[in-house]
Amino acid sequence: MKILIVLTSHGVIGETGHPTGVWMEELTTPYYAFIDAGAEVDLASTAGGQVPVDPNSMAEKDRPESVERFLDDAPAMEKLKHSLNVDHLTADPYDAVFLPGGHGTMWDLPENTALADLLTTAFAEGKVVAAVCHGPAGLVNVKDTEGKPLVAGRKVSAFTNSEEEAAGLTHAVPFLLETRIRDLGALYERGPDFQPHAVRDGRLVTGQNPASSPRVAELVLEAIG
């Protein structure tokens, strides 16, 4: 079993100047769920190389165990420092492609044609496609085998508009992810704000927020079979 995790390379929230990047828990919790299930896991990003990490996701208070494990895992940290460039990858070696969130994804994932092509091909080839929180921003330009938006007519969860409002970033992000997913024809699903909610629609797995990461990972492994 081999899984590709694709991360953001974007490190600033719009015009605010505030640093962002991947939300660490959304990487580390699924990463170890996959590793502990016996998978080989590659880390890639839109630009390759060092992946920016949202500093708010690294606060020591209540830091998830998976984050601590990752920080103490030298090979894993090397993967994060020297991520593969998604431009140079194909879906062929992988059973699943997973997109963690963090606000950085809202800027670079949607417009990355190499990523969209890789995900379109992966789904067409019977692979699992998954994302959590803001990670579904990387799905907005992905197509299904009929050329329609991959999310159209499928159950999808993602960071809610009300969660974005609670984060105070409604006017900082380039678009509201819930609204965009709905506009693409998805059967959008959500739970209470900041509570775990994940959904699997066949080989498409999505989750609402950081707390949804463990369940998303479980559903990915279930979908791989």
CATH number at residue 153: 3.40.50.880
CA angle (91 as vertex; 1, 53 as ends), nearest 5: 80
Residue 103 known to be catalytic: no
14, 17, 21: which is closest to 51 by C-alpha? 21
Write the CB contacts of 154 (distance below 8 Å, at least 6 apart in sequence): 186, 187, 201, 202, 204
pTM listed for this prediction: 0.97
Residue 171 known to be catalytic: no
132, 150, 133: which is closest to 141 by C-alpha? 150
C-alpha span between 218 and 109 (Å, rounded): 24
105, 4, 88, 96: which is closest to 53 by C-alpha? 105
Of 10, 25, 26, 134, the active-site residue reads 134
For 89-135, what is each residue's pLDDT tens digit? 999 999 999 999 999 999 999 999 999 999 999 999 999 999 999 99
For 51-79, what is each residue's pLDDT tens digit? 999 999 998 788 999 999 999 999 999 99
Residue 214 belongs to what domain range? Answer: 2-224
Q: How many residues does the chain have?
A: 225
Instruction: Domain count for the chain, please give it.
Output: 1
Of 10, 25, 133, 163, the active-site residue reads 133
Residue 133 known to be catalytic: yes
Q: What residues form DSSP beta bridges with 99?
A: 131
